[in-house]
Amino acid sequence: MKKTHFLVSMLVLTIFNACQNNDENDNDNPRKSESHTKTVNVTTHDGRPFSTGSGSVAGKFVSGPGGGVLMQGFYWDVPEGGTWWNVVKDKLTAWSDSGIGAVWLPPASKAQNGAYSMGYDPTDYYDFGNFNQNGSTETRFGSRTELEALITKAHAENMQVYADIVINHNSGGQSQANPFTGTNTWTDFSAIASGKFPRSYNDFYKNSYGNNDEGAFGGFPDLCHANPYVQDWLWGRDDSVGKYYKNVMKFDGWRFDYVKGFGPWVVNSWNSNVGGFSVGELWDSNVNTLEWWANNANSSVFDFAAYYKMDEAFDNGNLNVLNDDMMWKRNPYKAVTFVANHDTDIIKNKMPAYAYILTHEGYPTIFYRDYEEWLNKERLNNLIWIHNNKATGTTSILYTDNDEYIARRNGYNGNPGLVVYINNSTSWQERWVETNWSSQQMKDFTGHSSWYPTTQGDKWVKIQCPPNSYSIWSLNQ
């Protein structure tokens, strides 16, 4: 959630991959990636691989040996006016062709600020832009019909769609007398237009179930997940929020907002009852905390530990910190890696960071503005192709110092893997490294180096990397 912008908005309104994880359903895991599928690729004049879909056939995404990539399909304050669903829909074929296998959408239901809201102040979970309430019929992003067309198009491209779920707090209720606070609170949601999941003061803290849970946010009414009525409406009943999103709206998975605000058992219960891919926004750089939450929630988690280490490595010239612990090293099947998102964008030297997450374990995320506006799309597509086709197997770090980092993906099930070389210095660098291949020719699949070295009989080879850049090596095949 966007804390700074959102609190300003609230003030106005309140005056205003690989292989299957044991505890994840195979159909819900976008990293079920170690099986071979048909790939269609060509090579440019300078050796860069490009694909008609990174494993796609007839324009549809098909997972390659390394899996797929997640696109965050929005940024903070996307244009108002109900156009965003159509903007995203029109990009889906190109994203699929580039090897992107899933798109994460912003909160899709009607929020207190109506047509101006980014959705993180939810009022009516079942109003997707089809009821006239909170000052508008459409949401900021468009109508329900347009949202359904987007999801249908994504599925036609063999892409998954993940919903941003905000269940810590609500906003936009009417005032009512609250016996637990002795005051009036904005907790009367009995008149919501959909008629589904009406709420009152006992559905929010403090109430008959206690004074608080793990955390409230921004002064909003804090939803009480301990209340069986709330549980039933969120994930229990056949028309619960989760089951409606999945079975009627056809969402495939969930990005849970501000999971610090409630216990991991909430996401665990949702996942057990609803299913689908799941990732939580636990904004914490402590890898022990991330792992604890992921295990107890039975969910993936954004790898904030890796995020802050990448900032230190690529912006502050200390690549040695990439030896430190991160969530993807603890459990790559529950780690969603990222370089930027709608809330935080601190990494300035982004291309090496994308080279890092797209060659390492975990489920990598591309930020919309990085891909569509700010960075070199051709280079990002090249990295996505490398991820989907070459980034397989476990990871071995081969060399680090302040300026250089070299790691090897060890391959899986006949796929050879790769060696990634990141160089933060201002000059070309060369290193001898040990590969998994004896007497075989390699090439740099980024095209940054024109070398075609052959590994020695003992599997060692010399590779190179340009200044302030990266190279990615694998067998020339």
Residue 168 marked ligand-binding: yes
Write the DSSP assignment of 317-347 as a string of letters.
T-GGGGGS--HHHH-GGGEEE-S--SS----
Give helix then strand counts, H and E, for the chain.
Answer: 13, 23
Please give the sequence-ordered ranges of beta strands (E in DSSP) within 227-296, or none if there are none. Answer: 253-256, 277-280
Tokens standing for 19? Answer: 């292989």
Per the CB < 8 A criterion, the answer to whether 428 and 444 are in contact is no
| CA pair distance 365, 349, nearest whole angstrom | 16
Sign of CA dihedral 359, 364, 370, 372: positive
Q: CA 285, 286, 289, 293: dihedral to nearest 10 degrees? A: 30
On whether the CB atoms of residues 202 and 226 are closer than 8 A, the answer is no
**Active centre residues (catalytic):** 257, 281
Kindly report the number of other CB atoms within 10 A of residue 182's CB atom: 7
Is 232 among the annotated ligand-binding positions?
yes
CA dist 328 → 15, 108, 185, 335, 419 (Å): 44, 29, 42, 5, 18
Q: Is 341 annotated in some ligand binding site?
A: no
Q: Which residues of 366-388 are buried (b: 16+ CB within 10 A; e: fewer)?
A: bbbbbbbeebeeebbbbbbbbbb
Binding site as annotated, residues:
168, 232, 238
Binding site as annotated, residues for Ca(2+):
168, 232, 238
